[in-house]
Structures are given as C-alpha cells and as structure tokens.
Amino acid sequence: MKILITGANGFVGSYLAKKLSNVPAVKLTLASRVASPAQWGRTFKVNQIDSTTEWSEALVGCQYVIHTAARAHVMNDKDSDPLTEYRRVNVGGTINLARQAAEAGLRRFIFISSIKVNGEQTSLGNPFTAEDIPAPEDAYGISKYEAEQGLLKIAADTGLEVVIIRPPLVYGPGVKGNFFSMMRIVKKGTPLPLGAIKNKRSLVALDNLVDLISTCIEHPAAANQVFLAGDGEDLSTTELLRGVAKAAGMTSRLIPLPASVLMFVAFLLGKRTVAQKLLGSLQVDISKTRVLLDWTPPLSVEEGLSRCFVENADRF
C-alpha cells in the first residue's frame, strides 16, 4: 500500500507519517516544504501548494493521498485579503492535487477539513452532525468548504474516492497555539476566573484523529463520505482546565465567576471572540463515524491529556 501524505512536517501530518511508517505493508511518500525524516519514507519537497503545483513525481506508484497540508487558520489574520490567500492554497491547491491524483489512477483521496465548515458555535446539547447544511463564517472555513465541494465533484466526474474528515480542536504531542498556551498557564499555577463555565466543547486527541484517518484509508464504507472527528466526550471549559491540571500533576486554581460577567468584561476589552471560544459551546456528533466505520476513539480525554503533557514535557 503506497500513500502520499502532504503536510508531512505539520502537526497532524508528521504524527500520521510516524505512525504509518511502523506498518510493514505501508510505503510512504512525504511531501512538505522542508525535509521530512527520511526513515519514514520517500521525501518530496514542495515549495508551495496552489493550482500550479506539479505532483506527478510524488504520485508515482501511490494508491492513496492523505491531504493534511493547508493554509492554517490564523486568529486575527493580518493579510489584506485573507479569503483569496486561503482559496489559493486550500481550494486551488487541493483541487489541483485531486485532479492529478485522479488522472494518475489513484484510488482514494482523504481530505482533512475542519469543523469550521459546519460553523463556529452550537447551542448547548445540539451538536453539529455530518449531515448539517454547512455554514462556515470565516475565510478559513469558507475555503475548506469550497475545497470539499470541489473534491466531491471530482469524485462524481472521475471515480476517485473522496473521504472528508472534519476535526474540531486537535491536541496532542507537538500542539501549538492557544491550547499549548493554556497548558503553560495551568502548569504555572496561574489562577483563572473560569471555575463556573457550563458550556460544552468537543475536542479530538491527535492519536484519535490519526487512528480515524488510518481507518479511512481502505474502509469500503468511507468512500465519498463526510465524517466528524472527536473524542466522544464533551467538556466544559472548567472541566477541561481541571483535566489539564490533573494531567500536569497540579491542583486547578479556578475562580468561579459567572460567564455573563466574563463576557461583559471581554466585550469592554475588545476580546469578545476569545470569550466566545472560552464560554460558548461547540459540540460534534460522531455517531455516523462510529456506526459507518465501526470506529471507537482509542484514547479517552483523560488519556489524551495525560499523553499531551508527557510528550510535550521538554517544551515547558
């Protein structure tokens, strides 16, 4: 089984490559802008991913593509025209690769999309499902949705099997951004006014996402389907912080301020978007993923958070 992984030096791509390299029947081609570890497979350097990228050399002998590369979501993007940039990479680059994969006779294209295709927030107890009408709100989510639509058209026109996976926030070894910042704050024992938040948010451990991707490579029921990824356990922000503290071997220091007070203060400080992520809900229903693929997340949230700290220990 020969697989091309794009974004092979990224957060998801590198971990996926490491895991799949241990499967004897799998041969990998690893595409990234910087060199990937050669022991994981054949490397292919790509300077940029857009509608002009030539993939023929990377696709030679492959039957599957796992496309993790993307222009990542950036909070407070300073680009003068972010949607155009997201479309250039996430839409043009994805469609170009899929068309070349179809022309080369590959069997399946697995696309790592985003829950942002569904939207930014859910009401408590009403999770997103794979069948919901997409409602992306920001440039990143719009570009991922447009890429999905293009892929499904290619699948209909060519017979290339397409699998779309929409993960929520992913955490695990090598995590960066807001999640790692939160880990550092908790590790320092900094008191936080988030001890009375009753929202619910879905996350997915990197190990669980990689296991789901691996399941989708050959599973016959995965063809031309959209799947939501998740740990299957929803947490409030308060529960997440307590879980992070426990994983770090710390006692959580949470001050129980009402969410309404926090939202008002955030509004005054111009931090409404940040507050919505901390105080609002974003739940995903993975029942389709479980049933159609006979898949169960191998790690619990507690195990995922514990591994997150163990494997990031040298970064604190």
Amino acid identity at 169 = L
- 117/133 Cα distance (integer angstroms): 9
Active site annotation includes 145: no
- How many helices (DSSP H) and strands (DSSP E) are in the chain? 12, 9
Nearest to 213, CA basis, from 11, 12, 57: 12
- 208/100 Cα distance (integer angstroms): 29
Distances (CA, A) of 33 to 3, 74, 123: 18, 19, 39
Pairing of strands 64-67, 203-205: unpaired
The single residue listed with the structure tokens 């719009």 is 142
- The overall longest dimension of the chain from CA atoms, in Å, is 59
- 35/198 Cα distance (integer angstroms): 44
Distances (CA, A) of 103 to 59, 90, 95: 10, 20, 12
**For residue 76, which phi and psi values (nearest 5 degrees)?**
55, 50
Catalytic residue among 86, 140, 145, 171: 140
DSSP designation for 272: H
State the first-to-last Cα distance of the chain, in angstroms, to the nearest integer: 39
- Show the tokens assigned to 42: 């054949």
Q: What share of the chain is helix, strand, coil (3-state, %, to 5)?
A: 45, 15, 40
Which residues carry out catalysis?
140
